[in-house]
Chains A and B, each alone.
Chain A
Amino acid sequence: MSNLVLFQLRKSTVALSAISKLNKTHIEIQFNFKYLVGQLSQRLQSTSSQVVVRENTKREQKRVVPPNYRHIYPEFLPDPNMEFRNSVREKLERTDMINRRSRIEIPEFYVGSILAVTSSDEHAVGKTTKFVGICIKREFCGLRANFTLRNVVDNLGVEIKYEMYDPRLQRVQVLRLEKRLDSELLYLRDADPEFSTFPFDMDAEFLNEGAPVPVNPLKVNLRPPPWYARWERLQPKGAIIPELRGRRKEKSEKWLEKFSEPWEKYDLMKQYRKTIPEEEQDSIYSDIYSELHQMEIASKKLKRKKAFVKPKKTG
């Protein structure tokens, strides 16, 4: 014990004796000095510090879930808006989603990938319809997750919104897996039709296992305005905005001056409020990791079986 503390303790005996004199009693307090010192030192050692310092310097925690799961299965993450969060509903939805995925293979795809969707249709000849198109949008999460496919059929632009966990979907096949420079390709509506046409009998393009998803740096030519929306305001990276003239130009410049946020990429809290924090992501995916991993293994085996063509005897 430090000298200062011992001095203070000795002072305390004096103080106590003073108190006893004031009360006019002759009782001496059994002040066990050594016991008190022992108690004090014990208590001081046991007080826990606020900040817990980990043994490892960096967070070297073993990650069960691969880090790219939030890109492959983004609909498993709930809406970050607190008004829409419900832990019970989320858990139930996750189990339902996994059950559906065990029946049909819903592949990894991104906005800009070309998909072929076969769905059951009561009015069709063979009770099924197939639609091929480029994915221009992905919305919502959980069982309500959907994606929109766009194609130009007989000089008419067609967009169909499919729900990912719709039981009427029979097959979802990715013909070309790639990403684009933007998260939404709605400007294809005002682009040249050649950028939105894809043949229905398109063959699936092969991508090496484990290779990163390629980013297509294509810049789409937009037709001259008027448009479906003021694309110049969004400043899309994957589209070439033609030269605006006259009043349209003035208005767009005014709007950009007033409303454009060049600091948006530095706005940390805006990003934070739009995403689920990492720890929560880990807990969500670790719940369902084993099932998803098993499904992945099974689908890989199937693909290898299909790719392998048994050699036929000739002659």
Chain B
Amino acid sequence: MFRMQKTVTALFKHERLEVTRNTADEARGYAERLISEAIRYGDKHNATMELADFWLLEKQLVHKLFKVLVPRFENYNISYTRCLPLTPTYPCTKTDQFPKSLLELRGNPYPPVMPKDPHNGSLLHNILLEEARKEMRQTQYLETAKSIGKEDKSAWVVNEKAEDSGSSSEDERKKD
């Protein structure tokens, strides 16, 4: 339980943590429940104050919970935290055998970890790339259009030869 207390305290303090996957998963539950209780009962409720006092080892974070995090998360209809898996950092030491994950509170001031949909067609680079692709296709169409008129007649000859060879093989089979 002390480990969970430390993790929840650190999460509220730094708003972004790198912890082992299972710790993050469990601490996430406790953090969200704590925030939900604070939102539901508010500042003056004795039981909630005791709860916050137990979970948050640094007492300034109790103030942060009720003054900052509650107004931030009051109207949320999704989770208050985000948990993303992390890849191991090389060189692999013994501790890197335990996969880590990133645990953060939503609405934190840091730049986002996951980029917002890079394939979004409204983004400028995608508009430019789409136009470039269209241009490429146009050039290709023009080339094929040009080549329609100028067909290689030798191509037909090759086909006739193939047909002859095919019929000869059939005759051979009939003989057998």
Contact = CB atoms under 8 A, between A and B. Distances in A.
A218 interface: no
Given A57-B74, A267-B1, A27 B132 contact: no
Nearest to A261: B1
Interface residues of B, number: 31
B30 A268 contact: yes
B135 A23 contact: yes
Interface string A32-47: 0000100110011001
B65 to A, nearest CB: 14
The bracket for how many chain A residues form the interface is 20 to 34
Interface stretch (B11-19, B91-99, B122-130): B122-130
B122 A50 contact: no
A54 B121 contact: no
A12 B30 contact: no
A81 to B, nearest CB: 17
Contacts of B139: 23, 25, 27
Interface in B125-169: 127-128, 131-132, 134-136, 138-139, 142
A302 interface: no
A23 B26 CA distance: 57
A31 B122 contact: no
B75 A269 contact: no
Interface string A44-78: 10010011111001100000000000000000000
Q: What's the dominant secondary structure at chain B's contact region?
A: helix
Given A25-B142, A268-B37, A50 B78 contact: yes
A29 interface: yes
A8 B106 contact: no
Interface of B: 1, 26, 29-30, 33-34, 37, 50-51, 54-55, 74-78, 106, 120-122, 124, 127-128, 131-132, 134-136, 138-139, 142
B135 A51 contact: no
A29 B122 contact: no
A16 interface: yes
Interface string A186-219: 0000000000000000000000000000000000
Contact of B26 (A40, A57, A269): A269
Give the one of B74, B78, B131, B138 with max A CB within 10 A. Answer: B131
Contacts of A268: 29-30, 33-34, 37, 51
A59 B77 CA distance: 10
Contacts of B131: 12, 16, 29, 31
Contact of B122 (A9, A16, A27, A43): A43
Contact of A9 (B30, B50, B124): B124
Contacts of B106: 51
A85 to B, nearest CB: 19
A266 B54 contact: yes
A20 interface: yes
Contact of B135 (A16, A44, A54): A16
A228 interface: no
Nearest to B1: A263
28 contacts: A8-B124, A12-B128, A16-B128, A16-B131, A19-B132, A25-B142, A27-B142, A29-B134, A29-B135, A39-B122, A40-B122, A40-B127, A43-B121, A47-B122, A51-B78, A53-B75, A54-B75, A57-B74, A58-B74, A266-B54, A267-B1, A268-B30, A268-B33, A268-B34, A268-B37, A269-B26, A272-B29, A272-B33
